Chains A and B, each alone.
Chain A
Amino acid sequence: MNTDPDSASTPPPALDRREFVRATALVAIGAAASVGVVVKARRPSAPKDPTGPGTIRNHDNLSDVPVTENEDVLLRMERELQVAMAKSVEERKWVMIIDQRKCVGCHACTVGCIAENKLPPGVVYRPVTIEESGVFPNTRLKFTPRPCMQCEEPPCVPVCPVDATWRRPDGITIVDYDACIGCRYCLTACPYGARTSDFGEHYTAGAAVGAPVGEAAPLSGARAPANDWEGRPNHELGKSWDRDAHGLPGTHASPMGNARKCHFCLHRLEAGMLPMCATTCIGRATYFGDANDPRSLVTELLQQNNTHTLLPHKGTKPRVFYIA
């Protein structure tokens, strides 16, 4: 047995006056620094996205389509969209209105969105919830498409630890897929469940089990159309996101591992086209446009109808309105 060199003699004294003063100063500095960084972070900051004339887009997709009295609302909304795009980004105020009286629950918007944004399994931007009420035979179904609400007070933004998500001047909340670390805090913060995580799944994985393998495999082979489609890049947020080249140098890593969300098809808006869900809606139940334009269809609908938003008590101030 040895004697522990650490141990011996009597205990040290408690804090003396000088130590107490130093401790108080350090604690005060530590607390002040902590409060300071939070206060600084909470203060409004300059927009991250470009604003001003550089954001103006002039489109003439419909210049050769004459305006008719009873034209499809899609045509009207697209014309209005192009008017809005001719303004700088901070002058636009995108809103979506969903007329639940017209929605038949066909899920065309859900599927259109998946195709447009090449969403992998487990990622969905616009599911349609179905609510049944009444007692048979007097039952009723209510369909509620649920895109991202593009909230004015988005709870998903402040929780992001790396500032990888923010609200643009036109009101669309986006995710920087090159910066997101995939912590999924924003998923928990969204009361609408509008964010989903891309865990890297593929529709063709494990498909056609028992069929020939290798390049000749009908779904997952290198030459198979389905596999080819899944491997091709998508173009969310105006960039090419290459799923096959995920993480390779010089490529935008695909959003695999990221939080993903609806962005009102921003890449389509930039090209003068309506969001895919509005385009594919067979009942014309989805309206989209610039609420800053007093003559737009969405402004008319907001004025004429008693609209509501989902979970208004959450205080998020959604920009997606429902007519029920």
Chain B
Amino acid sequence: MSTTPSPSAAAHRGFFAHLLAVWRDPPQATDYVPRFLPWRALLWGAWVVLLTAGGIGLAQRFLQGHMPAGYGSYVPWGLWIAIYFHGVGMAGGAFFIGALGYVLNWPGFQRGKNLRLVIVLAVAAIVPAFFAVWLDLGHLDRLQSIFLRPNFTSMMTFNAWMYTVFMGIAALCWILSYLKDAGWKPALTAWLKPLLCLAILYAMLFPSQSGAFFGVVDAKAFWHSALMPVLFFTSALTSGAAMLMFTRVLTDAAGGYQTAPVEQQEEHAMMRRLRTFLIAGLAAYFVFEFAEFSIALWSPVSHAPAVELVLFGPYWWVFWIIHLFIGGLVPLALLFSRRRFGWTIAALLVGVCFISARLNVLVPGQAVGELQGLQEAFSHPRLTYIYHATGMEYLVGLFCVALGMTIFVAGRTVNRLVRDWFAQRAPNFGKEAL
């Protein structure tokens, strides 16, 4: 078996014929068939576990509807909505940094393959997020209504439309980046960076809008803060930088390529830049959070009860242990070390633990009612201000993680297949445009 077919035969094959050829005659010891590494086995093992456990939750959701869920009418949104905002934020943040780096020519970000990986990461974060929020709907069959009969006074519509448009532009940029690397259609590829600038605008807007999504809800004192969009954008940048760093390290380690010294330097520069983003993002987020909480507690106002719930309520450990310690202090300590391995672990911790930031906005905001005695006025488990995510919700959350991993791996494979298809036709692929 050969890693690349003879140029004359390959150059005349269509893309799907190329796919078929790769399927029939898979190349060995390349990025298609990566070497066995223990951490890779660990990831595959985790994927299988997540998919299996998540499948159980998914089956429950489809067979039993919302019955096994813990949310109700007074706390209408739970874990899945937190996953949604975390995924959307991560996608926006990662794309914002990655695409900005490509446009501004930052070392380690400026190559077409860097950009394409960022696009795949954004899609792998958004699609599971969208899936989670779809499962949260009362009518799964009416999802399309957001696009067919939109109401743009709703931040939800605005959010959904904006990241759908964003994904369209990102897909276009993905195609253009190949054409540019192949040196084809220069008149078209001249639009790549301008389009990226538009996508960057949207990548900045929709995570910020996620904050506005809550900020405009006057009924919830804890949410009704002008700081919300800023907090959400900051956390999007931080978690996006984290996942970008983690996936870059992972994919570079998995590539099995002998990279040129210049690329190794770029890799170091990329890591240092993302590390700076991470440190600055973490610091900024905690400063904003301190400002919000300290003012509420210093001079107790309407949202002080929600802040007290965050800090000292039944889920105090989500803030103190997961968010602050594991998601904040430990990563900061690792990021200040000199070991790149430590930075990678820090990135993973931030990327995973920042969902607690979402939960700490989402749940306490709903858990404090405006009208006294409403909970006691009519007794029903769904008419309480107490929310505990149920097993089904956690399992579906695991499925979303598995879905994200699947999309990422599939996207990366598609990236390579398309790259090879272009490389067979454009000998200077990746060089002409550079």
Contacts and interface: CB of A to CB of B under 8 A. Distances in A.
A7 B260 contact: yes
A74 interface: no
Contact of A41 (B151, B202, B262, B429): B151
Centre residue among A25, A40, A199 by max chain B CB count within 10 A: A199
A199 B162 CA distance: 29
A129 interface: yes
A70 interface: no
Contact of A200 (B67, B105, B112, B194): B67
A18 B190 CA distance: 9
Contact of A2 (B30, B74, B113): B30
Interface of A: prevailing SS: loop
Contacts of B107: 11
B311 interface: no
Interface in B153-174: 153-158, 160, 162
A209 interface: no
Interface string B1-16: 0010000000000000
A140 to B, nearest CB: 14
Contacts of B372: 129, 131
B257 A2 contact: yes
A181 B146 contact: yes
A180 B141 CA distance: 11
B197 interface: yes
A5 interface: yes
A200 B162 CA distance: 32
A127 B378 contact: yes
B175 interface: no
B431 A162 contact: no
Given A23-B198, A155-B219, A180-B139, A122 B374 contact: no
Interface stretch (A29-37, A95-103, A262-270): A29-37
A208 interface: no
- The secondary structure that dominates the B interface is loop
Contact of B371 (A8, A155, A193): A193
Nearest to A163: B151
- Among the interface residues A24, A180, A183, which one has the most CB atoms of the partner chain B within 10 A? A183
A304 to B, nearest CB: 27
Interface stretch (B293-301, B341-349, B379-387): B379-387
B73 interface: yes
A197 interface: yes
Contacts of A11: 105, 107, 110-111, 266, 434
Contact of A182 (B72, B137, B149, B429): B137
B377 A13 contact: no
Nearest to B154: A161
Nearest to A158: B153
Interface stretch (A57-65, A184-192, A282-290): A184-192
12 contacts: A2-B256, A3-B257, A38-B152, A146-B374, A159-B217, A164-B145, A181-B142, A182-B137, A187-B73, A191-B218, A191-B371, A314-B219
Interface of B: 3, 30-31, 65-67, 69, 72-74, 76-77, 103-105, 107, 110-113, 136-139, 141-143, 145-146, 149-158, 160, 162, 181, 190-191, 193-198, 201-202, 205, 216-220, 255-260, 262-263, 266, 366, 369-374, 376-378, 380-383, 419-420, 423, 429-431, 433-434
Given A19-B193, A23-B196, A27-B201, 17 more contacts: A1-B258, A4-B255, A7-B113, A12-B434, A30-B202, A158-B151, A161-B157, A180-B139, A182-B142, A191-B218, A191-B370, A196-B73, A196-B382, A199-B66, A199-B72, A199-B138, A257-B65
Pairs A-B, 4 closest by C-beta atoms = A182-B138, A257-B138, A22-B194, A127-B377
Interface of A: 1-15, 18-19, 22-27, 29-31, 34, 37-38, 40-42, 110, 121-124, 127-131, 144, 146, 155, 158-164, 179-185, 187-193, 195-201, 247, 253, 256-259, 310-311, 314-315
